[in-house]
Structure 1
């Protein structure tokens, strides 16, 4: 899975790391003062021109997380908006922050999650600043590959997992072929029925339900009611079995 990357060499990465670390380790008073000045300047600018999306984002974050260093750290990040059906892959040791809307996140096995801003939880700034890659990249937006009617397949560039999006129309039956590894199905919207060889009877499925499906098991999905039933399947990446 490719990314658009600018690599200015070790000197550029070192400069970026130094600037980011100085911001993240600045005193609370210094951060608060910088945010106050930035917000004041943006308020003034908004009266004479339309603010950029990144500038509008800063104002929005400041309203939600007053005095938080993450308001300023956002200026170091790409600002990415995803439409329904789109996805992106984030590699290990790459910082990211989810801001708004609904999405699913599938995460490879990890022994830690390091936080440093835009959160009331514990922050480990030193660890975060030391572990990041400081690559200057913009993630490629993924739109999935249709593998059968009503099913799109998303494959990241590693063996831990893959994700399918199943959008079952009312009254339709979708059959998911057996795969070599176990799967987890999450129902996001709608309602219907899930049938599998491992189930004696079909199980009713509704928003928020989760089903574990063993390897080599055929799944039948049917939607009931007036709306689509949207499910996501997370399983072992098929590349692992090649």
Structure 2
């Protein structure tokens, strides 16, 4: 990590606001790529996985700036840093966490609760006296965790349930006798009921029996390739894991750079590989379906999952007319936009009444008086009277994470 530079004072129309360069922590989760984040940052790989670079005030790895840790800076003056409207709506905390995510191997198959269930689940586990850091705890806070992933490179993942007839055809095509009852059920029952029954059967089956089915299905997927290749890859990372079969119920998605997925409450998903920027509401609430050695609470999972099949809904940014492209999503905790900057263009006005994090992913961008290269970011406190603009001397890409207020 580099040493934080002194804060730059960006002079606005009527006031001043500190725009601070962020020093961010890279999390070394085992599934991380060893090269993607170093390549973006222009640093030498360490040989260890580098999975996520966190930008924000999450207490697990808060960004640092010259004024101190971002979570502590915000706690010292919530209204000054976040703005009165943000504090009134979300409390005295930055309501989003921004990341660069580099998946070199598949992540766990998971789902997140809605706000009501997060609050109920957290209260129930508190009453039961389950420690917040216990491995079998589901709810570590009272918040929901909607998230958005936007591809920087070709990105592969799983998102939401495929239609029941299409999944029945996929399973039948493997030619594995022990999968036939699932395929038959998907054809015979109403779709949502069928998806629930099949997922329940997979996750509650005898471990030895389901492991044998996964092994047989893996061999068939390896032999057939094509649409089965992603599930064969999952099986090689998680041999015998029932999550491999659960994953076969989901849409396989390939994102091109600039395309995104929004993952709302109850939508099962997993990332398979690629580099992207991710933004989410600040929460650690995850219910896992498989592809992991961690705790899988099947009854609670089934309360949270939405068994609705459909298109995963790839998002493409909507041009706003001023060079900023916005990813339209149905929540307020965060707003993500992409700015494709050209040399000589009119400076892009990024003034906002709420807090922002600006991240450069290509080229070099001057924001206020700070110049950012790939992988560098700044925190912009709330101040609707301060002019914040971005320009570049060559083509550049800037992502803007803000609060939708």
Same fold (TM > 0.5) = yes
Of the candidates 223, 231, 234, which is equivalent to residue 398 of structure 2?
Answer: 231
- State the Cα RMSD in Å: 2.8
2:222–2:229: 8 Å Cα contact kept in structure 1?
Answer: no
1:65–1:118: 8 Å Cα contact kept in structure 2?
Answer: yes
2:221–2:231: 8 Å Cα contact kept in structure 1?
Answer: no
Q: Counterpart in 2 of 1:19? A: 198
How far apart, CA to CA, are the structure 1 residues paired with 2:316 and 2:259?
Answer: 5
1:3-23 residue CA offsets vs partner (Å, 9 max, x unmatched):
9x979xx95323321210221
Q: Counterpart in 2 of 1:220? A: 389
How far apart, CA to CA, are the structure 1 residues paired with 2:401 and 2:306?
Answer: 27
1:158-212 residue CA offsets vs partner (Å, 9 max, x unmatched):
22221111223457664224223221222323333321xxxxxx22322332322
How far apart, CA to CA, are the structure 2 residues paired with 1:6 and 1:25?
Answer: 22
What TM-score do the two structures reach when normalised by structure 1? 0.77
Structure 1 residue ranges without an equivalent (≥5): 196-201
Measured after TM superposition, the shift of residue 152 of structure 1 is: 0.9
How far apart, CA to CA, are the structure 2 residues paired with 1:25 and 1:190?
Answer: 50
Cα–Cα, structure 1 residues 223 and 93, in superposed 2: closer, same or farther, change >3 Å?
A: same
Of the candidates 220, 228, 248, which is equivalent to residue 41 of structure 1?
Answer: 220
Superposed counterparts of 1:148-167, under 5 Å: 148=321, 150-167=323-340
How far apart, CA to CA, are the structure 2 residues paired with 1:170 and 1:121?
Answer: 48
- State the SS of the aligned residue for 2:248: helix
- State the SS of the aligned residue for 1:184: strand
Q: Counterpart in 2 of 1:211? A: 378
1:37-89 residue CA offsets vs partner (Å, 9 max, x unmatched):
11233345x3xxxx442x11111212222222222111110111111221222
How far apart, CA to CA, are the structure 2 residues paired with 1:43 and 1:214?
Answer: 51
2:357–2:402: 8 Å Cα contact kept in structure 1?
Answer: yes
Is 1:103 the counterpart of 2:276? The answer is yes
How far apart, CA to CA, are the structure 2 residues paired with 1:177 and 1:58?
Answer: 42
Superposed counterparts of 1:72-221, under 5 Å: 72-110=245-283, 112-148=285-321, 150-169=323-342, 174-195=347-368, 202-215=369-382, 216=384, 217-221=386-390
1:191–1:206: 8 Å Cα contact kept in structure 2?
Answer: yes
Measured after TM superposition, the shift of residue 155 of structure 1 is: 1.7
2:323–2:348: 8 Å Cα contact kept in structure 1?
Answer: no
- State the SS of the aligned residue for 2:234: helix
| Larger RCO: 1 or 2 (CA < 8 Å, sep 6+) | 2
Structure 2 residue ranges without an equivalent (≥5): 1-159, 165-188
Cα–Cα, structure 1 residues 52 and 193, in superposed 2: closer, same or farther, change >3 Å?
A: same
How far apart, CA to CA, are the structure 2 residues paired with 1:174 and 1:65?
Answer: 49
Cα–Cα, structure 1 residues 96 and 171, in superposed 2: closer, same or farther, change >3 Å?
A: same
Where do 4+ consecutive residues of structure 1 move more than 4 Å? 170-173
What TM-score do the two structures reach when normalised by structure 2? 0.48
How far apart, CA to CA, are the structure 1 residues paired with 2:403 and 2:365?
Answer: 25
